[in-house]
Structures are given as structure tokens and as C-alpha cells.
């Protein structure tokens, strides 16, 4: 579903690459997690993959579409949950879901499923007809999650999705991520919560200074200590 090859991104104001020679893939049925300290480059990688940030080198393919040459088709394959719960505050939750759905060509049935079934699961159905401006941080995060799924994307990408969510909703989101992958979709997300990564991911990619330093398949290493590895990778920097 996702193939990233030699992706490199450098900001005009910086001499160093924020992401350098990034290569990995996410197959249908897989959940892949990006792990790294603040400033490691996780968000830069994600924003390059979804087409928000232009990159200088490399190639991104989403469900067979090249992001550079088939931008619109590639982006339609993606459902994206940002780390800053960016939403249209003047819309109601229902209007937001319908608007995002229309942009991505979602069917009426898909919109109704998200607005009814998923909204109830996330305990936000009661607020769908009120303005998003009055939502709490956690509610805005929930509506972003619903909007990202309304068109049933082949690839679901989440950047720090657990921020602002209560423990019950975090557990629900982990379950939804696993179920979504089991339905032959692909999921990529970044998180500082190693416990969440352990529960949700098949593969973990450690990022440091914009580069991949280690990739671990948790399906083959069920007892792998993520916290110990995370600390070891970052202790090298502080030694």
C-alpha cells in the first residue's frame, strides 16, 4: 500500500537534511510505527508522504500511485490524522464529516457509517450537530479521526494520534487500528507512547536525526523491549 524509496527532505533554512534516505514499505494488513525523540524527523517524513511538504529526493507510491506524477490519485488513497487536530471550527461535526467525505468521493453510506456507528463508538455522536469551535481538545481529535476514515482509505496515517485522548478512547483507537489493518488496509503512525506502539504495531521503525537507525518486526520478536531500545539509541547521542 505504501512504498517509500530514498526519501530526503531539507528545509531552505537548514543545511542538514530533516529526513535523509528514508526507505520502507507498509503492506496491506500491516501496522507500522515510527518511533523517535522530539525533532527526530517523524512528522517531516509523514508530511512528505502525504504531500504537504515537497521533498528533494526519492519516491513515494501509495497503492500504486506515484505521489510526484499522480498526486491527486495518490492522496485520495490516504486518510490523515494530524498532530494538531486541524479542523474547520465553524462547521458542526456532521458537516465536517460530510465535507471531508465529499472531497474524497465517499459514498452516502460511508458518511452515514462514520457519523452513526463510529461516532457512537467514540462517544461523540451527541455533539455532531454542534459547532466544532465548542469541542474540547480530545473531541477535536476524535472528529479528525472520523474524518480521516470517511472515505475508507487504503492507507491510514496518524501523527501522534493519542494526544488529548482519555485512556478509554486510546484503547478504542488501538483496537480500531488493528481491526482496520485486519480488513486489508495499511496503517502508519507515529507515537511517543511505546506501550501503544507495542500493542498496535507489527513493525517498528526507529528514527534519529532524520534517518532510520533500526527496524524491528514485532511479529518475530514478541518480547522485544521497545523502551530499552529507545533509551539505548538516544543514550548514544548523550554519551
| Average pLDDT of the residues in 132-147 | 93
pLDDT attached to residue 177 = 96
Q: What is the pLDDT of residues 15-55, one digit of tens each?
A: 889 999 999 999 999 999 999 998 899 999 999 999 999 99
Architecture of domain 2-77+153-238: 3-Layer(aba) Sandwich (3.40)
Work out the pLDDT band at 14, boundaries 50, 70, 90.
confident
Q: Which of 63-77, 204-218, 225-239 has the lowest mean pLDDT?
A: 225-239
More confident residue, 1 or 236: 1
Give, for 73, the enclosing helix (H) or strand (E): helix 71-75
| Average pLDDT of the residues in 195-221 | 95
pLDDT attached to residue 40 = 92
Residue with cell 507510491: 61
Instruction: Supply 73's cell numbers.
Output: 490519485
Instruction: Return d(Cα 5, Cα 188) in angstroms, integer.
Output: 16
| Average pLDDT of the residues in 172-199 | 94
What is the dihedral sign for C-alpha 122, 126, 127, 128? positive
Q: Which long-range contacts (CB under 8 A, 24 or more apart) does 170-175 make?
A: 170/196, 172/121, 172/122, 173/145, 174/199, 174/200
Work out the pLDDT band at 97, boundaries 50, 70, 90.
very high
Q: What is the separation of C-alpha 165 from the centre of its chain, rounded to a whole number of angstroms? A: 15
pLDDT at 139 over 50: yes
pLDDT attached to residue 239 = 46
pLDDT attached to residue 236 = 53
Domain range annotation of the chain: 2-77+153-238, 84-152
What is the dihedral sign for C-alpha 191, 67, 61, 64? positive
Amino acid at each position: 500500500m505504501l512504498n517509500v524509496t530514498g526519501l530526503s527532505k531539507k528545509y531552505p533554512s537548514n543545511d542538514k537534511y530533516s529526513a535523509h534516505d528514508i526507505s520502507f514499505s507498509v503492506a496491506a494488513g500491516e501496522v507500522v510505527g515510527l518511533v523517535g525523540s522530539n525533532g527526530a524527523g517523524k512528522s517531516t517524513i509523514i508530511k512528505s508522504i502525504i504531500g504537504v511538504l515537497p521533498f528533494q529526493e526519492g519516491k513515494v507510491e501509495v497503492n500504486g500511485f506515484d505521489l510526484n506524477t499522480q498526486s491527486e490519485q495518490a492522496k485520495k488513497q490516504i486518510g490523515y490524522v494530524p498532530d494538531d487536530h486541524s479542523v474547520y471550527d465553524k462547521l458542526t461535526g456532521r458537516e465536517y464529516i460530510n465535507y471531508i467525505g465529499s472531497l474524497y468521493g465517499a459514498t452516502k453510506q460511508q458518511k452515514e457509517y462514520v457519523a452513526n456507528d463510529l461516532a457512537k463508538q467514540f462517544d461523540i455522536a451527541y455533539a455532531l450537530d454542534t459547532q466544532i469551535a465548542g469541542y474540547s481538545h480530545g473531541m477535536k481529535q476524535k472528529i479528525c479521526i472520523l474524518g480521516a476514515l470517511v472515505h475508507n482509505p487504503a492507507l491510514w496515517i496518524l501523527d501522534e494520534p493519542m494526544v488529548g485522548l482519555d485512556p478509554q478512547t486510546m484503547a478504542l483507537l488501538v483496537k480500531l487500528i488493528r481491526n482496520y489493518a485486519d480488513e486489508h488496509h495499511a496503517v502508519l503512525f507515529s507515537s511517543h507512547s511505546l506501550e501503544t506502539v507495542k500493542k498496535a504495531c507489527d513493525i517498528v521503525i526507529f528514527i534519529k536525526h532524520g534517518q532510520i537507525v533500526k527496524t524491528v518486526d514485532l511479529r518475530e520478536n514478541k518480547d522485544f523491549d521497545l523502551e530499552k531500545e529507545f533509551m539505548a539509541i538516544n543514550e548514544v547521542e548523550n554519551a
